[in-house]
Chains A and B, each alone.
Chain A
Amino acid sequence: MSLSSPRQSAAILAIGTLLFASAGISGDAEAPMFTVNGFGTFGVVHSDVDNADFSISSERPTGAGYTRESSFKVDSLIAVQLNAAFTPKASAVLQAMSEQNYDGTFRPHLEWASFKYQFTPEFSVQIGRSTLPLFQLSDSRKVGLTFPWVRAPADLYHLTSAASLDGITINYRMHLGQWTHSLQLLAGRNDLKLPDSGGSAKTRKLWMASNTAELGSLTVRIVAADSEVTTPTANQLWDAFRQFGPQGVAIANRYELKQNRISYLGVGASYDPGQWFVATEWGGLFSHSIVGRRIGWYASGGYRFGRLTPYLTFSGGDANNLSDPGLDVATLPSYLVGPATGLNATLNSILSRKPVERTVSIGTRWDVRPNIAFKMQFDHTNIGAGSSGVLINVRPGFVLGGSFNLVSAAIHFVY
Chain B
Amino acid sequence: MEFARPIIVALQISLGITAAVAHADVVAVVSDTSAVMSLNKEQVVAIFLGKSAHFPNGTQAVPIDQADSTAARTEFYARFAGKSPAQLRAHWSKIIFTGRGRPPRVVANSSEIKKLLLQNPNAIGYIEQSAVDSSVRVVLSQ
Contact = CB atoms under 8 A, between A and B. Distances in A.
Given A214-B51, A274-B82, A93 B105 contact: no
B93 A114 contact: no
A146 B93 contact: yes
Given A180-B46, A274-B82, A39 B99 contact: no
B97 A95 contact: yes
B105 A30 contact: yes
Interface string B51-73: 11110000010000000100000
Query: For this complex, into which size category does the number of interface residues on chain B fall?
Result: 20 to 34
B55 to A, nearest CB: 12
Contacts of A305: 15, 17
A175 B52 contact: yes
B51 A145 contact: no
A122 B97 contact: no
Nearest to B42: A216
B131 to A, nearest CB: 22
Contact of B94 (A112, A140, A171, A178): A140
A39 B93 contact: yes
Interface in A272-330: 273-275, 304-308
Interface residues of A, dominant DSSP = strand
B14 interface: yes
A239 interface: no
Interface string B86-98: 1111110110111
A14 interface: no
A37 B96 contact: yes
A103 interface: no
B93 A140 contact: yes
A110 interface: no
A23 to B, nearest CB: 20
A139 B98 contact: yes
Contacts, number: 94
Which of B17, B54, B96, B98 neighbours the largest number of chain A CB atoms within 10 Å of its CB?
B98
Contacts of A126: 99
Interface centre among B16, B93, B99 (most CB of A within 10 A): B99
Contacts of B68: 370
A369 B68 CA distance: 12
Point out which of B14, B88, B90, B97 has the most chain A C-beta atoms below 10 A from its C-beta. B97
B98 A140 contact: yes
B87 A139 contact: no
Interface in B99-124: 99-100, 102, 105
Given A139-B98, A274-B81, A373 B15 contact: no
Interface in A93-141: 93, 95, 112, 114, 116, 121-122, 126, 130-131, 139-140
Contacts of B51: 180, 214
Interface in A204-255: 214, 216-217
Contact of A274 (B42, B46, B83, B100): B83
Nearest to A307: B16
A143 interface: yes
A83 interface: yes
A414 interface: yes
Interface of B: 14-17, 42, 46, 51-54, 60, 68, 81-91, 93-94, 96-100, 102, 105
15 contacts: A81-B96, A112-B99, A126-B99, A139-B97, A143-B93, A143-B97, A146-B93, A180-B46, A214-B51, A216-B42, A274-B84, A305-B15, A307-B16, A367-B86, A370-B88
